[in-house]
Amino acid sequence: MSIIKSMLLYSVALLLAGWVMLTGDVSARQVTDGIGRQILVPDNPVRLVALAPSITEIVFALGQEQRLVGVSRFSDFPQEAQQLPQVGSFVHLDIEKIVSLNPDICIAVKDGNPREVADRLAFLHIPVYAVNPLNLEAIMTMILQIGDLLNAADRAHIIVAGMKSRIDRVRERVMKTDLRPGVFFQIGISPIVSVGKGTFIHELIQMAGGTNLCAGYSSYPRLSREQVLVLSPDVLIVTTMHRGLSIDQIKAEWAGWTQIPAVRNGRIAIVDSGIFDRPTPRQVDALEQLVQLIHPELSKESP
Amino acid sequence: MTARPNKLLLRMAVVSAILLVTLVAALLMGLSLGSTHAGFDAIVKTLRGHNSSDPMLRAIVWHIRLPRVLLAALVGAALSAGGLVFQALLRNPLAEPYILGISGGSAIGAIIGIILGFSRFPGVTVMAFAGSMCTLILVMIISSGQSILKKDSLLLAGVMVNAFCSAVIMFLLSITQDARLHNIIFWLMGDMSMTDLKQVGILSAILIPGFILIFCLSHAMNLLLMGREMAMSMGLRLKTITVTLLVATSFMVSATVSHCGLIGFVGLVIPHLLRMVLGPDHRVLVPACILGGGAYMVFCDLLARTLPQQGEMPVGVITALIGAPLFIVLLKRSNR
Amino acid sequence: MTVAIDVAKISLTYGKVSVLKDVSFTVNPGEFFVIIGPNGSGKTSLIKSIAGIEKPQHGRIDIMGRPLSGYGRKALARKVALVPQTAPADFPFTVAETVLMGRAPHLGLLGLESESDLKIVRQVMVFTGVAELADRKIEHLSGGERQRAFVARAVCQSSDIILLDEPTASLDLAYQARLMDLMEALKNDRGATIVMVSHDVNLAALYADRLLLLKDGQIMSQGRPADVLTYETLEKVYGCTLLVDQSPLGDFPRVTLVPGKFNPFAGSG
């Protein structure tokens, strides 16, 4: 009897200690976050701040937007996200704003949010769950992790399953041909900047059955027009942060360079940077778009 | 002549008192305004420890705003005092605290630190400090020997080293990508947003003895303006005093810049402005620059935080936008 | 009686150039001692050496019986005051403040002046005739007025010895006379020892107790003006034709330059 009693007392004490350790009256658990840190997170986060636009998107996709009290500045998808209070841009966060929203957890992206911010927030007893999506695989893992965090694991699984099946379909389609057209993916107009190995876009291009002509360069190489000429791309895809740059303007920029097959054959396209640059479920949309552009002959068949 | 012995002391006391009050007012303003709104009395209550029921406000006031306004005050004081000392040492009105290669060296150090992925403190701060010490030593070597006391050789060496460093900085900027580029640019324009009480404590431990040292040498600085020979003939140990002031002030400015990036126009404009109002006696100017420079910086940082609709401006932009026109006005006034 | 300044065999070189070669002389307390000689003879270097600003490689200088090297800077400043040849023109202080700085060797750390310091300054300003300029800024004064202010500053140092390097060089005739009279008064009333470098041989002759004639860093002659200012010595040193006679003002030598057109013995061309 006394053993049970003391065990009971012990567990009650433990619970109380855990309770007291937290600022507030939420129960919490120890988890490992996306970059391997051990942190204490609330069981049911109700005041979430997303420190990057991709995180905001994922939270909405998981249907957990009611938990959000703050988002980073360029969180523009979905539209409703723009109504939420903004806490600065994701490289230059406003700590004061974040603290004033009294969050019980923040989700940060390792490659982008400054380390100091995470440390400061932790110092102020605000847990920061960090993720680090480096490729499609990691994006899907991240969605599952965030789903777990926000008690939306089921929804997360559905999303990831959907992504996986679409990716598999793309893979099958691409395997039907040996053609791997040379793709030049331009993310900067002036100067001309492309993507090298180690970026999301590179992976997407390869998966979509293209050859990224800048694979051998650093992550975001700058090239001159002559260098692009030498690379001789079959497909030229442009993504730009500037809305409003029309396809005609882009075509006009490249118009004189008919030695480039892409220009000669009119295979120039603009795509929305929002789905290409961000590690979100919409990357699969990007992938499908790329397949259309790189292998238009494949899309004539039914999916 | 009607000067009485305590008139100087009186002036020193009155000027210091007025500027101290200004500084405190600026500090309080800086504490009450920011991206979140809280009433002035709430802030004061929190400062006095009464507002324990609102941990969020406490966190904001104590851990975010207080370190920041204190850092601003220290930075403004150090840069203004530094500018004053260099203007006296080099006998050149264009002298400012970065003139001996400190800006170039610390920028290169900081940029390398950011590129290597160090965190702001202590990594980038230490790199910036190391960089500025390297360029300082370089400048001293270039103008070494007897000519170290010849003001022009120091100045020219400093200008050349800074120019060379600018080229290196341009190069480093051109090979950097994205997020780190943003960090670098913010550092180059002055950034006091990431600071805590520990950093403020370290910096004040370095700066406060420096301020006291400079104050003690303020009469010597008056004598220095007479030129090498007259100063020596009046009992000034020229080499000792010059090297002491040079090294101590450079050390202070380097430590400051390492914490907050390159903030310009403060070290140039504030000493001139105060000299126009208060006269050339350094015994009055040194405390005035320390207190007045501190108040000015707190105020500029406040503007940097609150003016833009979204986010904040780099504080270096504000000091330039205010400082440059102010300097031109002063220049026109003094030409009459 | 201790000699005020004892210069013993000093030699000074700048790099490879020898500016003073084995120079020895003494100055007695309360003497008006003037150093003359052509340009480049080392006069300024000599004055700076006595002031402790230049350090001769050889030889020794004693001030009031103690070696120069044995004095701390401030202690030396209480014994020796210097009025250099050029004064800074962009000095932002007023005349009163400038003269007050002359008290520096007697003041503590922050240079806080006491009532007695201010009294001394007031007296000196009256004595040197700059009292009416007291609140004017140095940078707004004429060259002569500025010079007088800096001389007043040197007098405020209350030193036993005052060194002046060509103090009359940029002054009007009137001020030249006033300055020399001032130095004479300092000598007579306060027992100061005056050592002056001058390019004006005649003015020197009128006031100096003893002269030192330098050429190329070496002493060519020293002694009373009448003994030093002889036709032979001067022609050798200055390399031009001179006429030496007695000044109408009294028992002083007067030196007159004889340019070519008056000289029947000058060579042609």
| Whole-angstrom distance, CA of residue C7 vs CA of residue C242 | 30
pLDDT at C267 over 70: no
Tokens 């002389």, residue located? C25
User: Is 0.90 surpassed by the pTM of this model?
Assistant: no
Kindly determine whether residue C115 and residue B4, on different chains, have CB atoms separated by under 8 Å: yes
Structural Rg of chain B based on CA atoms: 20
CATH number of C5-224: 3.40.50.300
- Please check whether residues A190 and A273 belong to one and the same domain: yes
**Averaged over B176-196, what is the pLDDT?**
81
Task: Look up residue B190 and give its DSSP letter.
Answer: -
Per-residue 3-state assignment (H helix, E strand, C coil) for chain C: CCCCEEEEEEEEEECCEEEEEEEEEEECCCCEEEEECCCCCCHHHHHHHHHCCCCCCEEEEEECCEEHHHCCHHHHHHHEEEECCCCCCCCCCEHHHHHHHCCHHHCCCCCCCCHHHHHHHHHHHHHCCCHHHCCCEHHHCCHHHHHHHHHHHHHHCCCCEEEEECCCCCCCHHHHHHHHHHHHHHHHHHCCEEEEECCCHHHHHHHCCEEEEEECCEEEEEECHHHHCCHHHHHHHHCCCEEEEECCCCCCEEEEECCHHHCCCCCCC
Q: How many residues does chain C have?
A: 269
Amino acid at B8: L
- Please check whether residues A183 and A147 belong to one and the same domain: no
pLDDT at B195: 85
- Nearest-CA neighbor of C236 among C17, C13, C32, C41? C41
| Cα distances (angstroms) measured from residue C44 to each of B322, C19, C205, C237 | 49, 10, 19, 17
At B103-154, the pLDDT tens digits run: 999 999 999 998 888 877 788 999 999 999 999 999 888 887 655 556 678 8
**CATH number for the domain harbouring residue A198:** 3.40.50.1980
Give the count of alpha carbons within 13 A of B297, CB side only. 33
- Please check whether residues A131 and A183 belong to one and the same domain: no
CB contact C88 to B (< 8 Å): yes
- Nearest-CA neighbor of C153 among C181, C114, C191, C127? C127
pLDDT at C121 over 90: yes
Q: DSSP letters along B309-325, please?
A: SSS---HHHHHHHHHHH
pLDDT at B255 over 90: yes
**Averaged over A209-218, what is the pLDDT?**
90
* Average pLDDT in chain A: 85
Does A14 fall in a domain? no
**Averaged over A212-241, what is the pLDDT?**
86
- Please check whether residues A30 and A147 belong to one and the same domain: yes
Q: What is the dihedral of CA B230, B235, B238, B243, to 10 degrees?
A: -150
Q: Would you state the structure tokens that stand for residue B242, as one six-digit string?
A: 């010059």
pLDDT at C173 over 50: yes
The 3-state DSSP class for residue B187 equals helix
End-to-end CA distance of chain B: 26
| Whole-angstrom distance, CA of residue B86 vs CA of residue C197 | 34
* Average pLDDT in chain C: 90
The 3-state DSSP class for residue B292 equals helix
Nearest by CB to residue C53, choosing from B4, B91, B229, is B229
Q: Tell me which of A67 and A223 has the higher pLDDT.
A: A67
Provide the residue range defining the domain that includes A70.
26-151
Give the count of alpha carbons within 13 A of C265, CB side only. 5
Task: Look up residue B148 and give its DSSP letter.
Answer: G
Kindly determine whether residue B1 and residue C88, on different chains, have CB atoms separated by under 8 Å: no
Does A59 fall in a domain? yes
At C37-90, the pLDDT tens digits run: 998 899 999 999 999 999 999 999 999 999 999 999 999 999 999 999 888 878
Q: Are C154 and B231 contacting, i.e. CB atoms less than 8 angstroms apart?
A: no
Q: Would you state the structure tokens that stand for residue A281, as one six-digit string?
A: 């479920």
Cis bond upstream, residue B314 (ω within 30)? no
pLDDT at B214 over 90: yes
- Please check whether residues A129 and A195 belong to one and the same domain: no
Q: Would you state the structure tokens that stand for residue A19, as one six-digit string?
A: 């309770």
| Whole-angstrom distance, CA of residue C143 vs CA of residue C151 | 12
Confidence of residue A77 (pLDDT cuts 50, 70, 90): confident
Q: Would you state the structure tokens that stand for residue C267, as one six-digit string?
A: 């060579």
The 3-state DSSP class for residue A259 equals coil
Does A19 fall in a domain? no
Displacement of CA C126 from its chain's centroid (Å): 21
The 3-state DSSP class for residue B15 equals helix
* Average pLDDT in chain B: 87
Domains of chain B: 16-335 (1.10.3470.10)
Does A223 fall in a domain? yes
The number of distinct structural domains making up chain A is 2
Sheet holding C161-165, edge to edge: C80-83, C161-165, C193-197, C32-36, C210-215, C218-223
Q: What is the dihedral of CA A145, A148, A154, A159, to 10 degrees?
A: -20
CB contact C87 to B (< 8 Å): yes
- Please check whether residues A183 and A256 belong to one and the same domain: yes
- Nearest-CA neighbor of C217 among C28, C5, C54, C75? C54
Task: Look up residue A113 and give its DSSP letter.
Answer: S
Confidence of residue B2 (pLDDT cuts 50, 70, 90): very low
On chain B, the residues whose CB falls within 8 A of the CB of C121 are 1
- Paired with C39 in beta bridges are none
pLDDT at B335: 72
On chain A, the residues whose CB falls within 8 A of the CB of B177 are 218-220
| Whole-angstrom distance, CA of residue A209 vs CA of residue A102 | 47
Residue of B146, B234, B335 best to disrupt the C interface, most CBs of C under 10 A: B234
Q: Tell me which of C127 and C87 has the higher pLDDT.
A: C127
pLDDT at B146: 57
Where exactly are the structural domains of chain C?
Answer: 5-224
Confidence of residue A3 (pLDDT cuts 50, 70, 90): low
pLDDT at A270: 87
Q: Tell me which of C25 and B308 has the higher pLDDT.
A: C25
**Averaged over C129-147, what is the pLDDT?**
88
Q: Would you state the structure tokens that stand for residue C54, as one six-digit string?
A: 């230049």
ipTM score above 0.90: no
pLDDT at B293 over 90: yes
pLDDT at C154: 94
Q: Are C104 and C76 contacting, i.e. CB atoms less than 8 angstroms apart?
A: no
CB contact B281 to C (< 8 Å): yes
Report the share of chain C in percent with pLDDT over 70.
Answer: 98
pLDDT at C100 over 70: yes
Farthest CA pair distance, chain B: 66
Confidence of residue B5 (pLDDT cuts 50, 70, 90): low
pLDDT at C161: 95
**Averaged over C11-16, what is the pLDDT?**
90
The torsion angles phi and psi of B296, rounded to 5 degrees, stand at -60, -45
Q: Would you state the structure tokens that stand for residue A74, as one six-digit string?
A: 């360029």
| Whole-angstrom distance, CA of residue B78 vs CA of residue B252 | 7
pLDDT at C269: 44
| Whole-angstrom distance, CA of residue C30 vs CA of residue A290 | 103
Count of pairs with CB atoms under 8 A, one residue in A, one in B = 62
**Averaged over A150-168, what is the pLDDT?**
94
Report the share of chain B in percent with pLDDT over 90.
Answer: 53
Q: How many residues does chain A have?
A: 303
Q: Would you state the structure tokens that stand for residue A142, as one six-digit string?
A: 């991240």
pLDDT at A219: 82
pLDDT at B256 over 90: yes
Nearest by CB to residue B233, choosing from C81, C91, C131, is C81
At B68-114, the pLDDT tens digits run: 999 999 999 999 999 999 999 988 888 889 988 999 999 999 999 98
Confidence of residue B59 (pLDDT cuts 50, 70, 90): confident
At A6-37, the pLDDT tens digits run: 666 655 655 655 444 444 456 888 888 888 88
Q: Are A141 and B95 contacting, i.e. CB atoms less than 8 angstroms apart?
A: no
pLDDT at C95: 93
Does A106 fall in a domain? yes
pLDDT at A23: 47
Confidence of residue C162 (pLDDT cuts 50, 70, 90): very high
pLDDT at C74: 92
Kindly determine whether residue B229 and residue C91, on different chains, have CB atoms separated by under 8 Å: no
Report the share of chain A in percent with pLDDT over 90.
Answer: 41
Confidence of residue A241 (pLDDT cuts 50, 70, 90): low
Beta strands in chain B (DSSP E): none
Q: Tell me which of C225 and A225 has the higher pLDDT.
A: C225
Smallest Cα distance from C117 to chain B, Å:
9
pLDDT at C1: 60
Displacement of CA B202 from its chain's centroid (Å): 16
| Whole-angstrom distance, CA of residue A105 vs CA of residue A26 | 12
pLDDT at C268 over 60: no
- Please check whether residues A106 and A55 belong to one and the same domain: yes
Kindly determine whether residue B236 and residue C118, on different chains, have CB atoms separated by under 8 Å: no
pLDDT at B153: 83
- Please check whether residues A32 and A147 belong to one and the same domain: yes
Find the chain A residues whose C-beta atoms sit closer than 8 A to any C-beta of B: 23, 73, 86, 88-89, 91-92, 94-97, 99-100, 102, 111-112, 114-117, 119-120, 123-124, 218-220
Q: Which residue of A has its CA nearest to B184?
A: A91
On chain C, the residues whose CB falls within 8 A of the CB of B232 are 51-53, 73
The residue from A105, A134, A151 where one domain ends is A151
At A105-151, the pLDDT tens digits run: 999 998 878 888 888 898 888 999 999 888 889 999 999 999 999 99
- Please check whether residues A30 and A105 belong to one and the same domain: yes
**Averaged over C182-199, what is the pLDDT?**
92
| Whole-angstrom distance, CA of residue A114 vs CA of residue A70 | 18
